[in-house]
Amino acid sequence: MKPAARKVLFLCTGNSARSQMAEALLQLEAARRPAGASPMEACSAGTAPKGVHPLTIAALAELGVDWRAARSKHIEEFLPSPPDLVISVCDNAKESCPTFPARVERLHWPFEDPAAAAGSDAQRLAVFRRVRDEIRTRIQQWISMK
């Protein structure tokens, strides 16, 4: 019998950039794991969802990830069926995360908010790329320990 997937929820405030990128990148990296590795299911949510930022979609597309159909989700969508692990990717979400059952593990990986970047579209996209790559590196390091 195949083991159940470990459900990982990335939590941010707006669920528009960091948590969306983390969800997509964990899906990408989990698909590359060797046969027999524990399966993982990635999802994301926000405490105050704003919609997926267009530069999130653009930054992921550069890696071959089509994220155009993604939507922002509120954390309350996951309360009836809690994840196994919640990874907050911003300090605000860490502080306002609802209480889950004791069995839900929590980690905090703070990243800069690329949606707050100023400048031209090219300058802002550069911030999204940098944060995307930081998230990907952190996920790869974490997965290598699993």
Q: pLDDT: is 4 or 145 the higher one? A: 145
12 is catalytic: yes
Q: Catalytic: which of 42, 97, 115, 127?
A: 97
97 is catalytic: yes
**55-64, 81-90, 111-120, 130-139: the lowest-pLDDT one:** 81-90
φ/ψ of residue 108, rounded to 5: -130, 120
- Domain harbouring 138, CATH code: 3.40.50.2300
Does a structural domain hold residue 57?
yes
d(CA 96, CA 47): 7
Within 13 Å, how many C-alpha atoms sit on residue 62's CB side? Answer: 13
Q: Residue 45, Cβ neighbours under 10 Å: how many? A: 25
Does a structural domain hold residue 112?
yes
Does a structural domain hold residue 109?
yes
d(CA 19, CA 24): 9
pLDDT in tens, 67-112: 999 999 999 898 888 899 999 998 775 565 556 656 788 899 999 9
Q: Catalytic: which of 8, 11, 12, 30?
A: 12
pLDDT in tens, 34-45: 777 788 999 999
Does a structural domain hold residue 1?
no
Element (H or E) spanning 105, and its range?
Answer: strand 105-108
6-12 and 85-88 beta bridge pairing: parallel
Tokens 């790869």, located at residue: 140
Instruction: Tell whether the model's pLDDT for residue 19 goes beyond 80.
Output: yes
Domain holding 92, by residue range, is 6-144
What is the value of pTM for the model shown? 0.91
- Helix axis angle for 121-144 and 54-61, nearest 10°, is 60
90 is catalytic: yes
pLDDT above 70 coverage of the chain, percent: 88
Query: How many domains, in total, are found in the chain?
Result: 1
Q: Catalytic: which of 55, 90, 115, 135?
A: 90
Does a structural domain hold residue 76?
yes
Q: Please give the pLDDT value at position 1.
A: 42
